[in-house]
A and B are shown apart, each in its own frame.
Chain A
Amino acid sequence: MNANQSSWSRTAADIFAVLARWLLGAVFLYMGLNKALHPVEFLKMVRQYDLVQSSLLLNSIAAALPWFEIFCGLLLLAGVAVRGTAVMLIVMLVPFTVLVFRRALAIQSAQAIPFCAIKFDCGCGTGEVFICRKLLENFFFILFSVWLVAGYGRKLCVRHSLLSCTAKTSLTEDGGSQISPNLPRL
């Protein structure tokens, strides 16, 4: 009975992780395409954050970021280099969330309105959003990404790990062996 339950929960976790991977991939693809189709609008958005003082750097961020998101989205949807891609997602999401939070605080102090009533276009590619919803959304995206880095979501992958050439054989928990192209979870 316990074995059945454990097997069922593993299957459920696997299915959920694959769905999370596809969701992340689709969201990044959609947001990246929205920005890549309107690069000037995105350039103005990036400028709003006062991140850099050099036009070359500003242009580079605005030019490359949308396509990089598209690239990551495609990798996640196809299931290629999932863990590495998820790390890159975290690298993008965490600083961006901090920036959005800081900007929201600035707007709050300027307009003196409740924090969750703040609505602005953060440059995410989805237009104007309420800040609390955006922060919550990003929190879940970061959570999903961490989950993928931990090794979940490897079902239905074209090549889960780019660098797995030695792990051809893995073991089942009851002592049997099976062929698996994937690396173990962290």
Chain B
Amino acid sequence: MDNLVAAADWRRAGVGRGIRVKNNLIQPAASERLTAVKRVFREAFFVAVIGAAFAFGANMVSPRGLALTRNYFPAGINRPVSAARDVANTNVPASSPAQLLAVRLKKQGLQWVDGRQAAQLFHDPRFRQGSIAFIDARDEQHYGEGHIPGACEFDPYHPEKYFATALPVCRAAEQIVVYCNGGDCDDSESAAITLRDVGIANQKLFVYTGGITEWTTNGLPVEIGGRNSGNLRSTNK
């Protein structure tokens, strides 16, 4: 009798595999199997809802959390390569990465400099006087590991942290060279657009397309640590 009551409970719960009660095998009916499956999906729904609430809540209280409504990619939400290719396909015939990048920057109304021009600007005496400024658009860690000597840090994903130091430098300068890693990296574009949006004149802004990768490949020096730390490292080939 106990077994029969237990079997009834078992069946109400949604039986999966067959069980033996006093030598009679109770096979799970299709409807019971369906009930069990529905229960699993109901549970998954609960996990999804509670998990989503937890996730957005955690992002909100996390000091590193993302602002949901902010546009972190003012240069365009499409990834740099595909966006450039789209532009190139519709406007001008461009195939090499450098050409694609040039097309993309042109679309944003930005000017650019290559490695030779960046080096010239770096060695120009006006750089020491503050008329030429270099802006590093990479994150804090990469900046600390090595940046163009005298470059000012400006991470476009956390601009509010750097406005106080970067804006006076940019306002004082006549030419501003913004760089990131080079290649597919478009953080320099984002930084240039962000600076333009807060009132820095567009004609002063130049994106260094080769970035720090080209800079070090060309054997130019980098500065370790903070700005003007004096801790220079040669990157001679």
Contacts and interface: CB of A to CB of B under 8 A. Distances in A.
Contacts of B14: 183-184
B46 A173 contact: no
Given A63-B68, A71-B54, A88 B47 contact: yes
A147 B205 CA distance: 57
Interface string A71-84: 11001000001011
Given A59-B70, A163-B42, A175-B22, 9 more contacts: A36-B64, A39-B65, A40-B157, A62-B66, A63-B68, A66-B55, A88-B48, A149-B40, A163-B46
For the complex, would chain B's binding face be called helix, strand, loop or mixed by DSSP majority? Answer: helix
A171 B77 contact: no
- The size class of the interface chain A forms with chain B is 35 or more
Interface residues of B, number: 57
Interface of B: 2-3, 5-7, 9-10, 12-17, 19-23, 33, 36-37, 39-48, 50-52, 54-56, 58-59, 62, 64-73, 77-79, 82, 139, 157-158
* 4 closest residue pairs by CB, A with B: A84-B43, A167-B13, A67-B55, A87-B44
A184 B28 CA distance: 11
A134 interface: no
Contacts of B67: 59
Interface string A13-44: 00000000000000000000000111110010
Contact of B47 (A47, A55, A84, A149): A84
B3 A43 contact: no
A100 to B, nearest CB: 15
A88 B71 contact: no
Contact of B10 (A59, A72, A184): A184
Contacts of B46: 81, 84, 162-163
A64 B47 CA distance: 14
Contact of B79 (A38, A48, A63, A185): A48
Interface in A45-100: 47-48, 50, 52-56, 58-60, 62-68, 70-72, 75, 81, 83-85, 87-88, 91
